[in-house]
Amino acid sequence: MLEALKEEVYQANMLLETYRLITFTWGNVGAVDANRELMVIKPSGVPYAELTPDSMVVVELSTGRRVEGSFNPSSDTPTHRYLFNHMEHVNAVVHTHSRWATIFAQAGRGIPALGTTHADYFYGEIPCTRAMTKAEVLQEYEEETGKVIVECFSTKDPLAVPAVLVNSHGPFCWAKTAHKAVENAVVLEEVAMMAYHTVLLGSSDHTVMDQHLLDKHYLRKHGKDAYYGQH
């Protein structure tokens, strides 16, 4: 079942280790099938060295029921499911505890758009969610995490800013494919590191990049008039 998608999700999960976005098993990639009825996700707590495509777990998107796989799915499965069910153009989600992005999450701060590297991928600040309430944490924590992410994007386009920092937790990224979601996670970590040091070096009244420069760099790669790369 979904052999090609399991291979894609497996390879994307392995890239998290290749790009040093994870420590131990602190991360996962999940993706939905073309009909948006099933999702494939990494198993919970299994060392990366032991993973194979057949280790990936198939879950029913509507119910969370495991339909194939010998392992339990990632504990973050309810978060992925909620995002897939409420962000219709998002087909893949990556969650890590990558160092620099998590620093911003722990500070409860978004990552401002300070330069063109950021603008090439994210059309403005990468937001940080509000802190979750005690009730949200103690009830359906992982699903509630998805809810605060969706709430954070109630007035934002999740494809224009394909990443978020969950307050006191860490980053989630997404895209239309698993490999692109990993690419976004790699860039997120890089711009988080750059932003941290830029703010550290800058004055207290340091402002974000000019809007016209942000527009130029984002829109030359995205949208109907994009001209970067081969067409």
Q: Report pLDDT digits (tens) over 158-175.
A: 999 999 999 999 999 999
The predicted model gives 100-118 an average pLDDT of 97
User: Phi and psi for 96 in degrees, rounded to 5?
Assistant: -140, 175
Domains of the chain, start order: 3-219 (3.40.225.10)
Stated pTM of the model: 0.95
Q: How confident is the model at residue 121, as a pLDDT? A: 98
The predicted model gives 100-127 an average pLDDT of 97
Nearest Cα residue to 10 out of 59, 50, 65: 50
Read off the pLDDT band of 223 (50, 70, 90).
confident
CA atoms of 55 and 10, how far apart (whole Å):
8
User: Phi and psi for 38 in degrees, rounded to 5?
Assistant: -130, 155
Q: How confident is the model at residue 224, as a pLDDT? A: 85
Average pLDDT, the chain: 96
Q: Which amino acid is at 229?
A: G
Q: How confident is the model at residue 202, as a pLDDT? A: 80
pLDDT at 225 over 90: no
Q: Is 228 a catalytic site residue?
A: yes
Nearest Cα residue to 72 out of 91, 95, 92, 46: 46
The predicted model gives 113-141 an average pLDDT of 97
Q: How confident is the model at residue 44, as a pLDDT? A: 97
pLDDT at 204 over 60: no
| Annotated active-site residue in 19, 120, 123, 227 | 120
Q: Is 54 a catalytic site residue?
A: no
Q: pLDDT > 90: what percent of the chain? A: 92
The predicted model gives 210-219 an average pLDDT of 95
